[in-house]
Chain A
Amino acid sequence: MKLLSIENISATYGGIHALRAVNLHVDSGEVVSVLGPNGAGKSTLLRVISGLVKPEPGGVVSFHGRSLIGVEPYKIARQGIAHVPEGRQIFPDLSVDENLEVAGVRIDAGKRKTKTAEVYELFTELATRKKQIAGSLSGGEQQMLAIGRALVSDCELIMIDEPSMGLAPVIVMRIFTTLRDIMESKGLTLLIVEQNARLSLQLSDRVYVLSQGEITLDGPVDLIKEDEEMRELYFATEK
């Protein structure tokens, strides 16, 4: 079943043609990766979905069959789409607890408590820093908090923008493994945007390759791994 559907989406961002006639869909329960180098339009794609960037007219963005185009970003978030933005964007002057709390505005206080407790169980380092100002956390902990916020929101679809950015490989590994676990145990759907092809391929069911705003390749992960162009990209990130 199609959860998220994107048809013929073009968008300009910062004066550049960031997306050109992109088609993409995510089924319920899938992990889908969008791979591509810096500046390929990956972040713009997520920003279009969450309503922060308006696409050019003529395209379709729909969630559960309902159009998201022109809907205010906060209302899109409340429909159950959590966007973990590039650079994590935690609220630095709010405590860890408060960061999680404000992410759960669409659910009632009781459910928010349960969800918060689950996040602390998953990321024990956060549990010991509940009252600490989020700006004082390490990069890895901040990424955990950013993902934690998405989990507290009780969403159906999590979109993550470059979870590996600026983090040590060990931590990246840990975060990706946790993501996979969450996926399976909670029945969530994941859309990941990454430069790190190697890790994303391990995690994903299907992959899209985005290059200069266009989808140049897409398919199940096993097929993508065989592709020559993909091999280049795959090895390029190895260096």
Chain B
Amino acid sequence: MLGLTDFIQNLVAGVSVGLTYGLMGLGVVFLWQSINRINFANISSAMLSVYLFFLFHTWLGLSMLLSAVLAIVLVAVYGLGLRYLLYEPITKRGGARLEFVVATLMLTVFWLTLIIAMFGGMPRRFPPLFGDATQFVRFFGVGVRAIYFYMIVVVAVLMTLLHVILRKTLMGKMLRATAQSKETAQLMGINVNLTANLAFVMSTTVVGVAGLLLGPIYFVSPVLGGGAIGIKGFAAAVMGGLVDPYGAILGGVVLGALENFSTLFISSAYRDVISFAVIAVVLVWKPTGIFNWTSKKE
């Protein structure tokens, strides 16, 4: 018999991991909204931030906090690289969506193989950025692994920050205007180069943060840059119709909870089988996103 405590523990674990999928989904939404492209190369951002963090801390001996900040900054710069070294040249030479998707897919595989060549395929120990991984904290009277608590706090802070930027600042409003019509935004005097840069940087940064949050669970391993986790981010984004940031987060949460309860009630071996089956059904049933409140307001 499943006790209430077990239920809550599993719910919290599922929801918190789901929040990180949601963050990865946000990365998809930001780019789709600003340049109308799916960018598979952004999957690598999670893996890259974790390996950079590992490199700075474990190999170069920098402090954990500094290593994490440097890793995120470099991943943000990676976003600019994706724009100026990939998106712009492809677009300038007449490449459309398909060419971009294939190129970003190739780049993901490149990073994955490069990381495996450099660090080997075996997971390395993730430095305890969020404290001891076995540590528990009290959360609504239930003992929860500390990392889940950090996930919730970090995602909540990040979401609040993004909400304030997008809803309250002129820059955020300009970003949303550009997402709705790039051409009209230009006619308003909005520098769409700047807003596109911001979108690229935001998209890789949130995925980079998600990577660091997943580190204690998946360790420093190429799994973070591979298909399964990246695809979950995309699935979360599609549940939000690719346009709704809150829908993407909620999509991630549902996915995370689904995963955890599949493990609990059925089997951990079938965890991904079940969640991907459900995602596939949901997407076929409602391809425009079940948590899409943005594009229905017409």
Within 8 A of B (CB), among A72-108: 72-74, 77-78, 82-83, 85, 89, 91-94, 98-99, 101-103, 105-106
Cross-chain contact A83 with B177 (CB below 8 angstroms): no
Digitize B166-180: 1 where CB-to-A-CB distance is under 8 Å, 0 elsewhere: 000010011011001
Contact check, B173 vs A93: say whether CB atoms are below 8 A apart: no
The answer to whether B170 and A73 have CB atoms under 8 Å apart is: no
Measured in the bound complex, the distance between the Cα atoms of B183 and A77 in whole Å is 12
CB of B138 within 8 Å of the partner chain: no
B176 touches A153 (CB 8 A): no
- B190 on interface, CB distance cutoff 8 Å: yes
Which of B173, B176, B184, B189 is A89 in contact with, Cβ under 8 Å?
A: B184
Could you tell me if B190 and A105 are in contact, using CB atoms closer than 8 angstroms?
Answer: yes
> Which of A78, A98, A101, A135 sits near B189, CB closer than 8 Å?
A78
Interchain CA distance A66-B297 in the complex, whole Å: 42
Interface of A, secondary structure class, is mixed
**Which chain A residues (130-152) contact chain B, with CB distance < 8 Å?**
133, 135-136, 149
> Is B192 located at the chain interface by the 8 A CB criterion?
yes
Which A residues lie within 8 Å of B187 (CB)? 50, 52, 73, 77, 82-83, 85, 89
Indicate whether A135 sits within 8 Å of B297 (C-beta atoms), given known contacts A52-B183, A89-B184, A92-B180.
yes
Give bound CA distance, A94 to B192, whole Å: 17
Instruction: Identify which of B180, B189, B297 gathers the most chain A CB atoms within 10 Å of its CB.
Output: B189
- Give the complex CA separation of A99 and B174 in angstroms: 9
Q: Is the CB of B189 within 8 A of A91?
A: no
Q: Are the C-beta atoms of B177 and A94 separated by less than 8 Å?
A: yes
A92 to B179, CA, bound (A): 11
Q: Are B297 and A133 in touch, CB under 8 angstroms?
A: yes
Contact B190 A93 (CB under 8 A): no
Residue B268 is within 8 A (CB to CB) of chain A in the complex: no
Whether the pair A73, B186 counts as a contact (CB closer than 8 A) is yes
What residues of A have a CB within 8 angstroms of the CB of B176 in the complex?
A: 91, 93-94, 98
Assembled-state Cα–Cα distance A78/B190 (Å): 9
Q: Is the CB of B298 within 8 A of A92?
A: yes
Chain B, 119-158, contact with A by CB distance < 8 Å: what is the 0/1 string? 0000000000000000000000000000000000000000
B191 at the interface (CB under 8 A from A): yes
Given A91-B177, A135-B297, also A103-B186 (CB < 8 A): no
Nearest CB of B to A76, in Å? 9
Contact status B188-A136, CB under 8 Å: no
Asked whether any CB of chain A lies closer than 8 Å to the CB of B294, the reply is yes
Chain A nearest CB from B248 CB (Å) reads: 16
Number of interface residues of A (CB under 8 A): 29
Q: A90: nearest residue on chain B (CB-CB)?
A: B184
Closest to B295 in A: A93
Q: Name which residue of chain A comes closest to B184, CB basis.
A: A89
Complex alpha-carbon distance, A179 and B81, angstroms: 46
Query: Which residues of chain B have C-beta atoms less than 8 A from A109's C-beta?
Result: 170
Closest A residue to B181 by beta carbon equals A89
Check if B188 sits within 8 Å of A102, measured CB to CB. Answer: yes
* Beta-carbon nearest neighbor of B180 in chain A: A91
B185 within 8 A of A: yes
Smallest distance from the beta carbon of B241 to chain A beta carbons, Å?
Answer: 12
Residues of A within 8 A of B298 (CB): 92, 135
The 8 Å CB contact of A74, one of B173, B180, B181, B192, is: B192
Q: Which residues of A contact B170 (CB under 8 A)?
A: 101-102, 105, 109
Shortest distance between the CB of A150 and any CB in chain B (Å): 9
Q: Are the CB atoms of B180 and A105 closer together than 8 Å?
A: no
Q: A89-B181, A136-B297 are in contact. Are A153 and B173 (CB under 8 A)?
A: no
| Chain B residue with the shortest CB-CB distance to A89 | B184
Task: Report the Cα distance A85→B185, complex, angstroms.
Answer: 11
A85 to B294, CA, bound (A): 24
Contact B173 A101 (CB under 8 A): yes
Are B297 and A93 neighbours in the complex by a CB distance under 8 Å?
yes
Cα-based distance from A74 to B190 in the complex (angstroms):
6
Q: Please, which residues of chain B bring their CB within 8 A of the CB of A94? A: 173, 176-177, 180
Task: Report the bound CA distance from A103 to B192 in whole Å.
Answer: 13
Q: Which residues of chain B are within 8 angstroms of A89 by Cβ–Cβ distance?
A: 181, 183-184, 187
Residues on B with beta carbons closer than 8 Å to the beta carbon of A106: 189
With A135-B297, A136-B297 known as contacts, the answer to whether A103 contacts B188 (CB < 8 A) is: yes
Q: Contact check, A74 vs B189: say whether CB atoms are below 8 A apart.
A: yes
17 A-B residue pairs with CB within 8 Å: A52-B186, A73-B183, A73-B186, A74-B185, A74-B189, A74-B190, A89-B184, A91-B180, A93-B180, A98-B177, A101-B170, A102-B174, A102-B188, A105-B170, A105-B189, A135-B297, A136-B297
Q: Which residues of A contact B (CB under 8 A)?
A: 50-52, 72-74, 77-78, 82-83, 85, 89, 91-94, 98-99, 101-103, 105-106, 109, 133, 135-136, 149, 153
Known pairs A73-B187, A92-B298 / 5 extra A-B pairs, C-beta < 8 Å: A52-B186, A85-B184, A89-B183, A93-B297, A102-B190
Top-4 shortest CB links A-B? A77-B189, A73-B186, A89-B184, A78-B189
